[in-house]
Structure 1
Amino acid sequence: MRIIDHISDLHFSRIDHRASDALLARLNADPAHLVVISGDLTMRARPREFRAARAFLDALTVPWVAVPGNHDITAYYLWERLLNPFGRWEAMISPETEPVYEDEEIQVLGLNTVSRGGLHLNWENGTIPRSGLLRLLRRLRRLPEGPFRIVVAHHPFLAPPERPDTPVVKRGERALRDLAQAGVRLVLSGHLHVGFHNLHAVTAKDGDSLLVLQAGSATSTRLRGEQNAYNRVVVENGRARWTAHHWDGAAWS
């Protein structure tokens, strides 16, 4: 059995400090085997925000992996966004934007869905670059079969069932089919600040399903009709189950 705490959209500099402090205490008091952060650790990719995010990560007593979100690259310095978009992330959070965590029961792989923008300004909803997906599939082929496979990305691959017109990452559904064929059984994402009920299934040829689980914002004050929340995922006997935990203004419940 493996326990994973899935948090997302921390947005340091625009956080509820009580929720953040209580979340850190909770994650350490009842530790999972791994904490997975699906992007947007900062609000504007400023150095002080990265330092605050890094202090939060350093205070965790369990291993963690994180992928960047669209807020984790600058929106102000276009030369930096185009030429070195993840330089601040790599210097202050992790040298990897697509980390890999592996043990005898789980394999967790990051997929960077953040768009630099290029000649267009539609950055927010992200994309799955062909090169990134092929790199991920090659990594999966090199890993031993058997452990439960999980992919973490910032942008949602599918829209919430109750909001089917919600913009999602480009090429998301095609990527899900490829990931299912590669043995991935769970995708963790964030971005929408709307949480645990965003669940879908894609069936692979062998009959197993790939589940897509989205987390709300763990600590941001930029809420979209839902309380701050995170997911606790339990992987056991080749299946995943989860519980959403919400901040009620005084405690995580």
Structure 2
Amino acid sequence: MVGIDLKGRTALVTGATGELGRVMARTLAACGADIAVHYNSNAAKALELAEEIKSTGRRAIVVQADITKLDDIMAMRDKVTAELGHVHIVVANAVIQYQWTSVLEQSEEDYRSQFESCVLQSVHLAKAFVPAMIERGAGRMIGINTECAMQNFENQSAYVAGKRGMDGVYRILAKEVGASQITVNQVAPGWTISERDRANGTERSEEYDSRVPLKHRGTDQDIANAVAFLASDLAGFITGAYIPVCGGNVMPGI
């Protein structure tokens, strides 16, 4: 059976200290990749995660950056390249958190934060890392989107606007860099069970679960598995895809 082998590759995961990001980082490392653990403010968690990864025999470093600022992203690229070598896999997972409310009540700043952390992060990461991928004729750009981008429920407007803008960037980037054998894809989690849910005993939601064809929420590991697949040679002919990992709760049409 063919497995996922990322040995000899370096992966950057933005927002790696988050509930989903840390499992992505661990999973990519388990597949053999060296990991750049990005954080914005949680240095302690980033260092803990990097040490955990290094204990498995992989290389890992921590990198701090404001993902909404191009200068920060460029400095992060330089640090990762100097310490781990060229980045083969970029996972854009970071997003600014905010309080959801209606369009009429949502602040302008919340729309701006989602544009900056979804759209501009994607653009900045491309500008920083894609040129070297083009030179090598290979690379993986993976964005973490959301099922919300297809649902368009009440109170989601800023988040959905940011993620739908991100979707446009990724689809166009896929066409622009495909000739260089760089794939550009998105994983769209549903409402996902994380370490916080396990600690709090909140894995089940009858209302949500009843709407999902598989009748339960997915896990952080389910999301990380999809990321690892897209990062691997097994997904070498998949690009421009938006892949929901939500038990069928949303299904893109054709």
TM tier, shorter chain? 0.3 to 0.5
Higher relative contact order (CA 8 A, sep 6+): 1
- What TM-score results when the alignment is normalised by the length of structure 2? 0.45
- What TM-score results when the alignment is normalised by the length of structure 1? 0.45
Bigger proportion of residues as strand: 1
